């Protein structure tokens, strides 16, 4: 429904969330699991939860998302889901033959207290897990955290279950990309490839959720990090984690378990954050930056210069996940735009501090909140209108009600197709963000202009 009745007056709401700016942990865990080659994600809970997780990812990526479920009924809800999960593991390996099953829990299985490690141990003892096959798990109750923490928990599980040090430091860098699109993962790998740096990226959804149309169904697409690569991550010379919330836990676990030193950076969105990523990769691997990367950076700077007059002091409202919002806010401030309303539904104590630091020189009051909802975001916009909104598909209702230009950014994007094929990260992604921003602003000028002011050339 449209939100025209949202009041301008803001009141404190401690026990009521209206239009949440987040979704649940299992969705993030399922997305991370899809980044392992030959993996079938498994939702340990009811069919309804599993259907929601699959459908949300399918609607965002416009690709069929394969997963399985323990199919809890009343009996499992009372007596526990051990028998359901044991039967599911046996059926999945017999019928679908994945290399690995990645189990994530739901509210129901967490509430009744299923001990997943114990169940997986029994499955191994009962020979329900074939030789050379694997089952991993992450605890992801929906009543705490968000899809971002679910992603982080499953990514950390990859380290906990697989990473092993061989006693040597191999000339290779681990990159944990955070929750980004498959095209973003491709762009990050491209930067590493042009630097000449061997990497292990995990998870890796390139060619899993943005693969080509071949006319032939593949249960397990060719993309994804392999189990051998996950094992080898424990012997890499270093790890770069992109996004502290989504990637930090896995990087720290790898450091603690295998003594692989890590550097936790912001997502490489925009010029400054990408510069830091390239520089960190350069230093860690001991290589030089090639002209191809320098040229791309120069092209992005040229676009910023050309657009400056149209972007200067335009007010922007942003809603989304903490890691991308931190980098996006920095990018917008660096090109003299003014992000004045910045909200995330994921509670993150570092988020508000970082955003305050980034926006401290903006000549305007700035609203910042984490763990809040879109009703508050809408109220901010009503009380202090902006020139541009950026956020996921649900922001379109606010954009329509307030008649404000809107750019889709983040997860989920349910009403457009193709976004997962074009990067938003690194220098090439920065160019796309700028193009989308200027297009939205200029389309509004064209829409509102008189016939006399309707220019052919801007």
pLDDT(248) > 80: yes
Q: Predicted confidence band at 4 (pLDDT cuts at 50, 70, 90)?
A: confident
Domain ranges, residue 124: 25-156
Out of 267, 292, 317, a domain closes at 292
308 and 442 fall within a common domain: yes
- pLDDT number for residue 5: 80
Q: How many domains does the chain have?
A: 3
Q: What percent of the chain has pLDDT over 70?
A: 99
Q: What is the rounded average pLDDT of the residues 222-237?
A: 97
Residue 419 counted as domain residue: yes
Within-domain flag for 362: yes
Q: Are 435 and 307 in contact (CB under 8 A)?
A: no
Residue closest to 252 by CA, chosen among 240, 267, 235, 237: 240
The answer, yes or no, to whether residue 76 has pLDDT greater than 80, is no
Residues 182 and 275 in one domain: yes
**pLDDT surpassing 60 at residue 1:** no
| Cα–Cα distance list, 180 to 102, 207, 414 (Å) | 20, 14, 16
**Is pLDDT at 12 greater than 90 in this prediction?**
no
Question: Tokens 């770069």 correspond to what residue?
Answer: 240
239 and 366 both lie in a single domain: no
Q: Chain-wide mean pLDDT for the chain?
A: 95
Task: Establish if 176 belongs to a structural domain.
Answer: yes
Q: Are 55 and 183 members of one domain?
A: no
Examine residue 161 and state whether it is found in any structural domain, yes or no.
no
Inter-residue contact 274 to 430 (CB < 8 Å): yes
Task: Answer yes or no: is 396 within a domain.
Answer: yes
* pLDDT tens string 349-386: 899 999 999 999 999 999 999 999 999 999 999 999 99
The pLDDT tens digits of the residues spanning 270-329 come to 999 999 999 999 999 999 999 999 999 999 999 999 999 999 999 999 999 999 999 999
CATH number of the domain bearing residue 327: 3.40.50.1980
Burial of 398 (0-12, 13-18, 19+ CB in 10 A): buried
Average pLDDT over residues 25-49: 96
Residues 343 and 428 in one domain: yes
- Among 292, 325, 340, the domain-final residue is 292
Give yes or no for residue 227 having a pLDDT over 70. Answer: yes
Residue 2 has pLDDT above 60, yes or no: no
Q: Parallel, antiparallel, or unpaired for β 315-320 and 262-265?
A: unpaired
Instruction: Judge if 184 and 200 occupy the same domain.
Output: yes
Task: Assess if residue 321 is contained within a domain.
Answer: yes
Residues 286 and 306 in one domain: no
Structure tokens at 69: 């479920």
> Where does a domain end: 262, 292, 322?
292
Beta strands in 307-356 (DSSP E): 315-320, 338-344
């Amino acid at each position: 429904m449209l939100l025209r009745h949202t009041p301008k007056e803001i009141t404190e709401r401690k026990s009521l969330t209206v239009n949440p700016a987040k979704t649940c942990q299992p969705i993030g865990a399922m997305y991370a699991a899809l980044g392992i080659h030959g993996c079938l994600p498994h939702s340990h809970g009811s069919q309804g939860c599993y259907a929601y997780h699959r459908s949300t990812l399918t609607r965002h990526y416009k690709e069929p998302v394969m997963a399985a479920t323990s199919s809890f009924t009343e009996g499992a809800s009372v007596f526990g889901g051990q028998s359901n999960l044991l039967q599911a593991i046996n059926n999945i390996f017999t019928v679908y033959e994945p290399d690995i099953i990645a189990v994530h829990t739901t509210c129901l299985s967490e509430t009744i207290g299923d001990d997943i490690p114990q169940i997986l141990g029994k499955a191994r003892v009962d020979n329900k897990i074939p030789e050379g096959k694997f089952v991993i798990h992450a605890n992801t109750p929906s009543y705490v955290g968000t899809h971002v923490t679910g992603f982080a928990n499953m990514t950390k599980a990859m380290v906990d279950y697989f990473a092993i040090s061989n006693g040597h430091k191999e000339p290779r860098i681990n990159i944990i990309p955070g929750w980004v699109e498959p095209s973003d993962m491709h762009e990050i790998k491209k930067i590493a490839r042009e630097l000449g740096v061997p990497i292990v990226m995990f998870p890796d959804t390139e060619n899993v959720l943005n693969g080509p149309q071949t006319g032939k169904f593949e249960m397990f697409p060719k993309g994804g990090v392999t189990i051998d690569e996950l094992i080898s991550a424990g012997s890499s010379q270093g790890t770069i984690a992109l996004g502290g919330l989504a990637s930090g836990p896995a990087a720290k676990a790898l450091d603690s378990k295998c003594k692989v030193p890590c550097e936790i950076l912001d997502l490489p969105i925009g010029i400054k954050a990408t510069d830091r990523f390239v520089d960190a990769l350069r230093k860690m691997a001991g290589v030089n930056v090639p002209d191809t990367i320098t040229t791309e950076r120069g092209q992005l700077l040229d676009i910023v210069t050309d657009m400056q007059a149209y972007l200067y002091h335009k007010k922007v409202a942003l809603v989304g996940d903490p890691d991308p919002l931190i980098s996006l806010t920095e990018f917008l401030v660096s090109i003299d735009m003014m992000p004045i309303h910045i909200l995330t539904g994921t509670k993150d104590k570092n988020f508000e501090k970082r955003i305050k630091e980034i926006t401290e020189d903006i000549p305007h009051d700035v609203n910042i909140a984490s763990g809040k909802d879109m009703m508050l975001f809408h109220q901010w916009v009503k009380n202090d209108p902006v020139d541009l909104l950026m956020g996921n598909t649900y922001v379109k209702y606010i954009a329509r009600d307030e008649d404000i230009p809107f750019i889709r950014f983040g997860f989920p994007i349910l009403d457009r197709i193709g976004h997962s094929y074009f990067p938003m990260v690194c220098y090439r992604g920065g160019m796309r963000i700028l193009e989308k921003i200027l297009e939205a602003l200029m389309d509004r000028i064209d829409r509102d202009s008189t016939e006399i002011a309707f220019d052919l050339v801007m």
